[in-house]
Copies of this chain bind each other. A is one copy, B any other.
Amino acid sequence: MLKDDKLIKAYGDTYNDGKIQLSFTLPIQKGVEAEEAARIYCSKLGLKDIEVVHMKDLREGFTFFVVYAVADVLVNTDKINVAKIEAEEMSYYEINDYIKDKIERNLTVVGACTGSDAHTVGLDAILNMKGYDGEYGLERYPQFNTYNMGSQVPNEKLIEKAVQENADAILISQVVTQKNIHVKNLTEFVEILEAEGLRDEFILVLGGPRISHELALELGFDAGFGTGTKPNQVASYISQKVYEKFENNN
């Protein structure tokens, strides 16, 4: 098969051999039956050439498995459609100039870790002076008025603050995703905004290590930023989005 084929599969050591690695635990006592159970479990996923290469007794009736197998399904790379943030990445200086030249006023952003989330490091990385990975945070930008409300902020309080400061954008960080708590929390946030007729007042930006742009859109946000986001990427997005809104309104 050719390398530039559009139909791809996993690659172990031969093009499209489909080789993948799995590990999981089954609630079954270690033994030949357990090994067979692992094989059946994998075969129900449509896997082929299943090799249970390791079994470990975790006691209390649990067994851990490492498996190699062939996943004989294809991805058509021509048909991958993924929403992307439509903003050109600019530098600190470019962004400030852009806002000065095109929007001609300061932008205001309000950010928080909402609900019971107390992981402030990610939000701080975007908002605080210090910034992240060599990039200044939004507080440092002369063209941004930045309000960082910190951790465990109730949705209502955040909205109140955004209204009060006449914010252009609301930034939410969600790190804890256990039992999909973030989905619940974020859905509620958008519902309140909509109920109050405020949804279109703000650009809604979501961030966190388990957040994708896709998910953010699904939840009714305008953009989502994941692991490794740098402040200038967020600032680029917000300023271009505000300008776009401004253009549309004129």
Report the bound CA distance from A54 to B246 in whole Å: 38
Across the interface, do B25 and A11 meet the contact criterion of CB distance under 8 Å? yes
What B residues does A9 contact at CB under 8 A?
26, 41
Task: Give every chain B residue within 8 A of A152 (Cβ-Cβ).
Answer: none
Q: A180: shortest Cβ distance to chain B, in Å? A: 9
A32 near B77 with CB under 8 A, answer: no
> In the complex, what distance in Å separates the CA atom of A81 from the CA atom of B39?
12
A186 smallest CB distance to B (angstroms): 17
Query: Are A62's CB and B11's CB within 8 A?
Result: yes
Interface size on A, residues (CB 8 A): 44
Contact of A71 among B8, B24, B51, B71 (CB under 8 A): B24
CB-defined contacts of A16 to chain B, threshold 8 Å: 27
A37 CB to nearest chain B CB (Å): 5
A166 adjacent to chain B (CB < 8 Å): no
> Nearest Cβ in chain B — how far from A8, in angstroms?
5
Cβ-closest 9 pairs across A and B:
A44-B73, A20-B24, A10-B24, A36-B82, A21-B23, A11-B25, A45-B45, A37-B75, A33-B80
Q: List chain A positions with a Cβ less than 8 A from chain B.
A: 3, 8-12, 15-16, 19-28, 32-33, 35-37, 40-41, 44-47, 51, 61-62, 71, 73-75, 77, 80-82, 84, 210, 212-213
